[in-house]
């Protein structure tokens, strides 16, 4: 998730107010590199775009004291139109096309992720899908993730150990497509943030290393090239005395 932080003394979300910000975030890759594009490059001077807070997304950020989170929409000019690469605008257009055919979308996310140790190694190497024992070992971090998400208006239904080694899953209640996408973005941010607080890491890749078995939302799996197994599960920092 990309964004900025600001103090309460300079609020950034009065209704209808727009702010200038570089358009480079729409050209960044996962490592923060900017790939030259016709609209964002050294030749174009990385021009600004305009963003406006969507106050319907304003919510408490329970992972930090006295903090709130709000998502923004992007525009080419201060009075519009919407930026063609704004992912929320792209989704709104897709939903409108679907509704024009007489259908209404109702969606839910089933996001799977891996937890690794500080050296990006798997915290366990065996397959323990839906294991209650393994889930109990990881409850200090998974329980905090669930509670934090629900405190930020992301209605988590469940979490469980998934098929791949060191793979977890969090399921969220269904909703309108834009709401589902917003929740998924917040979920990924919270998982990475809280994993670090417990001495763990969450990679962005589908499978964190060669030899990992990865699964899809449909439950299919595929093996990858072998690698050495990871260490045993480290005790989360919050449980250390």
Its CATH architecture, for the domain 110-239, is: 2-Layer Sandwich (3.30)
Specify the range with the lowest mean pLDDT, choosing from 32-36, 153-157, 160-164: 32-36
Predicted pLDDT at 11 = 66
Average pLDDT over residues 72-87: 92
Helix (H) or strand (E) holding 19: strand 18-22
Average pLDDT over residues 43-63: 90
Predicted pLDDT at 155 = 98
Packing angle between helix 139-151 and helix 177-197, nearest 10 degrees? 140
- The model carries a pTM of 0.83
d(CA 78, CA 227): 52
Each domain of the chain, given as residue ranges in start order, spans: 18-100, 110-239
Sequence-separated (6 or more) residues with CB below 8 Å from residue 122: 114, 116, 165, 166, 208, 209, 212, 229, 230
Of 72, 89, 60, the C-alpha closest to 13 is 72
Q: Computed over its alpha carbons, how large is the radius of gyration of the chain?
A: 20
d(CA 237, CA 241): 8
Cis peptide before 51 (omega within 30 of 0): no
């Amino acid at each position: 998730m990309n964004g900025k932080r600001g103090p309460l003394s300079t609020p950034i979300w009065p209704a209808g107010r727009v702010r200038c910000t570089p358009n480079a975030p729409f050209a960044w890759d996962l490592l923060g590199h900017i790939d030259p594009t016709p609209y964002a490059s050294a030749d174009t001077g990385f021009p600004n775009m305009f963003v406006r807070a969507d106050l319907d997304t304003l919510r408490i950020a329970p992972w930090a004291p006295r903090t709130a989170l709000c998502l923004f929409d992007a525009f080419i000019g201060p009075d519009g139109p919407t930026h063609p690469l704004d992912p929320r605008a792209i989704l709104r257009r897709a939903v409108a096309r679907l509704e024009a055919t007489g259908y209404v979308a109702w969606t839910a996310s089933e996001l799977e992720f891996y937890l690794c140790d500080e050296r990006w190694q798997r915290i366990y190497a065996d397959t323990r899908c839906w294991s209650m024992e393994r889930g109990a070992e990881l409850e200090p971090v998974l329980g905090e993730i669930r509670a934090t998400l629900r405190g930020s208006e992301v209605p988590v239904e469940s979490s469980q150990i998934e098929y791949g080694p060191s793979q977890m899953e969090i399921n969220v209640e269904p909703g309108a497509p834009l709401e589902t996408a917003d929740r998924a973005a917040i979920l990924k941010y919270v998982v990475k943030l809280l994993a670090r607080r417990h001495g763990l890491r969450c990679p962005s890749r589908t499978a964190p290393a060669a030899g990992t078995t990865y699964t899809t939302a449909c439950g299919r799996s595929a093996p990858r090239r072998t690698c050495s197994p990871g260490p045993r599960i480290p005790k989360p920092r919050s449980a250390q005395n």
